[in-house]
Amino acid sequence: MKAVHVIGAGMSGLSCGLRLAEAGLAVTVHEAGPRAGGRCRSYHDEKLGCVIDNGNHLVLSGNHAVARLLATTGADKTEVTIGEARFPFFDLDSGERWALRLSNGRIPWWIFRPSRRPPGTGLSDYLSVLKVMRAGPKATVASLIPKTHRLYRCFWEPFTLAVLNTAPDEAAACLLRPVFEETFARGGAECRPVLTRHGLSAALVEPTVHRLQALGAELRFGARVRGIAIENGRATALDIAGEEIALGNSEAVVLAVSPDNAKALLPEVTAPDRYRPILNVHFKLPDSLVGRAKEPFLGLLGGLSQWVFFRGNVASVTVSAASGSLDDPADAIAATTWREVARALAAEGTPLPPHRIIKEKRATFAQTPAQIAKRPKQHKMYGNLWLAGDWTESELPATIEGSVRSGEKAARAVLDVGAKENVAVL
């Protein structure tokens, strides 16, 4: 393989293209939209007068694929900060504040300290972890951890919603296992939040694009791929907005688009076909509240808001698996979430500030047992065509880490084929 066409400039496509360009291949990235990033992006909002992310994403120090990407582009030194393994919560029902504070090593000494674990929980409650670690492919989180369990409301439910964007009563428990193994099970050193200074685009997207261009890769925006010609088990041509690009014997294709777009191009692909939305509300804080938050983010229990992230004068609320609220009037959504944020800031009664509501109707595929069974069983579709994306076969859920790792896996597959062909020639 000497040249690769990467279709899609989301995080999986960008990470794939980067690894291939580093290996010396000629890389062209075709993106239907006007910019890179996919569901991981930032933009300047005219109403708020500042840069906001389309949604909140919490990356942890144990997300090693993201760490590799940041290190490769140099963004780890300029665009991110790493906090301590501390996850603060505020209970809207009781008004209680507490924080889950992990110890650094693999031995979870923190569970023996009541001040470092959710209030009202005992040592025996943490044996529930074993049920999740042994979960079969058909088990849901709620089938293993009932709502009456003391850790359900204060840990398993917010953890499941944040990671899987699917309610615990239908979320596939087996997808939590690799996340838990790579983060919580390895101690606080692998659970430190990685926070962006200026947003997702500045930390993840723009540095990757710049690095790709520096390596000679071409990024074509507004280049929607309308068709892929397949002959004799190989991709032979791409139809891009009416222009046909013939593919030589040494050219490969990596299809890194959403599952519905992948099926539109290759109907034979098996893919998840149910989705779950995420609702995000961004508030421009009044000057009197800027700096009042003592934590960069806060988990909220007992309300519509699940997490609120603070950066500068913006407070951003996330509601995962938001199907029940997606069609509510915008004014009602804003009023409810602002009351919850204001209460968390001990600023009840503060008038509703300028805000922006963003609804990602297809934020992730529905990560249920039935849907994960529809993930394609193999990434290689044809002799020179591979799939990439957080929806493809993987132990990981649909997260930024899953996207980046999928792109890296596709890149390795392309390079492996090239290596085998070179050996055959020799």
Of 338, 261, 278, which Cα lies nearest the Cα of 303?
338
Phi, psi (degrees; rounded to nearest 5) at 371 = -80, -35
Three-state secondary-structure class, residue 305: coil
Give residue 421's pLDDT: 54
Give residue 379's pLDDT: 87
Give residue 419's pLDDT: 61
Where along the chain do its domains lie?
3-41+200-273+368-425, 86-191, 275-365
Q: Which residues of the chain have pLDDT under 50?
A: 422-426
CA 33 to chain centre: 19
Q: Which CATH number fits domain 275-365: 3.40.50.1820, 3.40.50.2000, 3.40.630.30, 3.90.660.10?
A: 3.90.660.10
Beta bridge partners of 237: 229, 246
Instruction: Tell me the pLDDT tens digit for each residue of 173-195.
Output: 999 999 999 999 999 999 999 99
Type of residue found at 73: T
Give residue 426's pLDDT: 28
Type of residue found at 151: L
CA 190 to chain centre: 17
Which CATH code for domain 3-41+200-273+368-425? 3.50.50.60
CA 305 to chain centre: 19
Burial string for 117-129 (b: 16+ CB within 10 Å, else e) reads bbeebeeebeebb
CA 34 to chain centre: 21
Enter the pTM of the model: 0.94
Give residue 409's pLDDT: 96
Give residue 358's pLDDT: 96
